[in-house]
Amino acid sequence: MAALSSGVEMSMREVVTVALGERSYPIVIGAGVLDECGERLAAVCRPGRCALVTNPVVARLYAEQLKESLMGSGFDPIQIEIADGERYKTLDSVSHIYDVLLEAKLDRKAPLLALGGGVIGDLTGFAAATYLRGVPFVQVPTTLLAQVDSSVGGKTGVNHPLGKNLIGAFHQPVLVLSDSATLRTLPRRELVAGLVEVIKYGVILDAALFARIEEDLDALLALDERVLGAVIRRCCELKAEVVGADEREADYRAILNFGHTLGHGIESETQYSRYLHGEAVSIGMSFAAHFSASRGYCPPAVADRVVRLLRRLGAPTEVPTDLQARSLQAALAGDKKAAGGQVKFVFMEGLGRTRFEMVSAREIAERAVAGAAEH
Ligand SMILES: NC(=O)c1ccc[n+]([C@@H]2O[C@H](COP(=O)([O-])OP(=O)(O)OC[C@H]3O[C@@H](n4cnc5c(N)ncnc54)[C@H](O)[C@@H]3O)[C@@H](O)[C@H]2O)c1
Ligand SMILES: [Zn+2]
């Protein structure tokens, strides 16, 4: 188990220290931490040249603020922009980053900073893992999903035409700065999708977190700083604990896939265009909750509580009626985590507890499509 320490620093900073021996690093959370980037980075890297990777949307909003902070502490950043969107999470984009870094002659001491959501984080992390066999990496996540999920755990990578996240590496950051004030410019739909992952942590690991979200959902949606910082911190602690216990293996970490088996299937069956990832996961979590109740693993009232919270959030909870069982089954069986038509399915056993069972892709697909037809 990863030793974790966390607490509230002066000026309302929530800090989670991810303890991975020599590779330990802090996650600093709070409104305005962007302005502390230079100072905090100087504590772990000698000031000098560095590269900021972002996209045009986020650059327009936050790049100047971040660069000002970096320059204030003696860093000399170059800026690299990758077009916005999941379809640019490719080796081509990483290759473009290499080109700019080589041309600018950045050496292996120069850190790479990712300013943006999970797409920028994943591809910048992969560039940092591989450029000159690895350079320091800093995450400055600006979506809720990136702040509670993709910036923690060290997974980096890009998509391949044959599938998502098929090319990648583990590369831990030296520092993560989650500025909750950046969420104020995030489209509401992205915020809701991120909150689905927050609810997931409550369901699989922490009943008290789940209850807190039920109670404070409106404050979260209103981006109330006090609640938001504490909730982001708790999610980071939970994810860090899970990945620390199991940094590279898929075993225990697989509980994070709650709702994702069907969620991924739905994303792929709807060409990654109808739903945001978190929305598809919300449908998958609702399905997994009912499935758990129908197998007698969890009381139906608890499963209903999960679905009710997702509905209150405004996330979709119903499987779309136009899915075909056959095609969905093929998508589920083709997932990189499936073997021989069997999928390791994460069930809930009440709030904060899970169990795994091997389930056939066919059973999941048929159940999901039959459930959709009932509505
Ligand atoms: N590495 C991991 O462990 C891990 C875990 C989960 C997800 N992921 C990856 O994360 C990616 C999804 O990340 P995401 O949901 O953050 O999507 P994203 O990076 O595409 O960001 C969503 C949208 O919000 C915009 N945006 C970002 N910050 C903003 C802000 N503060 N204000 C306004 N707009 C802003 C982006 O430009 C983009 O258009 C996927 O590629 C997924 O595979 C990785
Ligand atoms: Zn997810």
pLDDT tens per residue, range 46-86? 999 999 999 999 999 999 999 999 999 999 999 999 999 99
pLDDT reading at 170 higher than 80: yes
- Which residue, judged by its Cα, is nearest atom 18 of ligand 1? 117
| CA of residue 151 to ligand 2 center, whole Å | 12
Identify the band that residue 249 occupies on the pLDDT scale cut at 50, 70 and 90.
Answer: low
Q: Given this model, what pLDDT does residue 247 score?
A: 60
pLDDT reading at 9 higher than 80: no
Mutate to test the pocket of ligand 1, among 18, 82, 120, 145 (most ligand atoms within 8 A of CB): 145
The per-residue pLDDT of the chain, averaged, comes to: 94
Kindly state the DSSP code that residue 272 receives in the 8-state scheme: T
State the CB neighbour count (10 A cutoff) for residue 199. Answer: 24
Higher pLDDT, 301 or 7: 301
pLDDT reading at 2 higher than 50: no
Can you tell me the distance from the alpha carbon of 197 to that of 374, in angstroms, rounded to the nearest whole number? 26
Section 150-166 average pLDDT:
93
What is the radius of gyration, based on Cα positions, of the chain?
Answer: 20
pLDDT reading at 252 higher than 90: no
Can you tell me the distance from the alpha carbon of 338 to that of 342, in angstroms, rounded to the nearest whole number? 6
| Closest ligand relative to 116 C-alpha | 1
Please identify every residue annotated as catalytic. 133, 155, 197, 239, 249, 253, 257, 260, 264, 277
Q: Given this model, what pLDDT does residue 253 score?
A: 86
pLDDT reading at 286 higher than 70: yes
Q: What atom of ligand 1 comes closest to residue 182's alpha carbon?
A: 31
Tokens of 286: 């609702």
pLDDT reading at 367 higher than 80: yes
User: Pairing state of beta strands 76-81 and 49-54?
Assistant: parallel
Across 50-54, 149-153, 162-166, least confident range: 162-166
pTM: 0.95
Section 272-299 average pLDDT:
97
Section 217-243 average pLDDT:
95
Q: Given this model, what pLDDT does residue 373 score?
A: 75
Tokens of 182: 């950046």
Section 9-35 average pLDDT:
88
Q: Given this model, what pLDDT does residue 3 score?
A: 47
Q: Given this model, what pLDDT does residue 374 score?
A: 75
Residues found in the chain: 375
Share of the chain above pLDDT 70, in %: 95
pLDDT reading at 349 higher than 70: yes
Section 109-121 average pLDDT:
98
